[in-house]
């Protein structure tokens, strides 16, 4: 279940679509909060698709993800694609910069995955890689493809 707050709404009952104008906040029954602007929602033909082309912030327990170019989400599959440059901020102070990040919550856990160049930074380590996979529940990060690290 989700609760959505918006400044304005246009609804097309025949096509089962909505366009939420201005600032939009999605509060999911789990611990997830999504802030964006100008959100398009389609529930036609049994689908639950959400799309915004505006800066988006995704927040869950211990993680905040900022996207420069919005997101596409399939709520039936519990998959969200954050578009453009993405920054993941962890409660420990570390951060990961990447692009076109997929957040998969389909099995009840939370996985972040990008097949784009990724850059992990913390107070004493700096790692670059071609791809990354982050399991947010146990906080396990896997960096693959030409991994380069500096440890201080």
User: Cα torsion at 20, 23, 24, 30 (round to 10°)?
Assistant: 180
Task: Compare 1 and 88 and report the one with higher pLDDT.
Answer: 88
Taking only the tens place, the pLDDT of each residue in 100-152 is 999 999 888 899 999 999 999 998 999 999 999 999 888 899 999 999 988 87
pTM of the model: 0.91
**Half-sphere exposure (CA, 13 Å, Cβ side) for 8?**
4
Contact 140, 131 (CB under 8 A): no
Taking only the tens place, the pLDDT of each residue in 33-65 is 999 999 999 999 989 999 999 999 999 988 999
For 27, the token pair is 């509060």
Instruction: Give pLDDT, residue 26.
Output: 94
């Amino acid at each position: 279940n989700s609760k959505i707050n918006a400044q304005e709404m246009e609804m097309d009952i025949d096509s089962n679509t909505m366009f939420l104008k201005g600032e939009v906040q999605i509060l999911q029954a789990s611990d997830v909060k999504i802030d964006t602007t100008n959100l398009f929602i389609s529930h036609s033909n049994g689908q639950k698709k959400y799309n915004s082309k505006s800066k988006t912030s995704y927040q869950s327990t211990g993680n905040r993800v900022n996207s420069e170019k919005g997101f596409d989400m399939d709520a039936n599959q519990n998959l969200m694609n954050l578009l453009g440059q993405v920054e993941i901020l962890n409660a420990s102070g570390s951060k990961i910069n990447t692009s076109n990040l997929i957040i998969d919550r389909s099995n009840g856990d939370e996985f972040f995955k990008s097949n784009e160049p990724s850059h992990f930074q913390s107070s004493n380590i700096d790692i670059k890689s071609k791809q990354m996979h982050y399991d947010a529940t146990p906080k396990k990060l896997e960096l693959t493809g030409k991994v380069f690290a500096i440890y201080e």
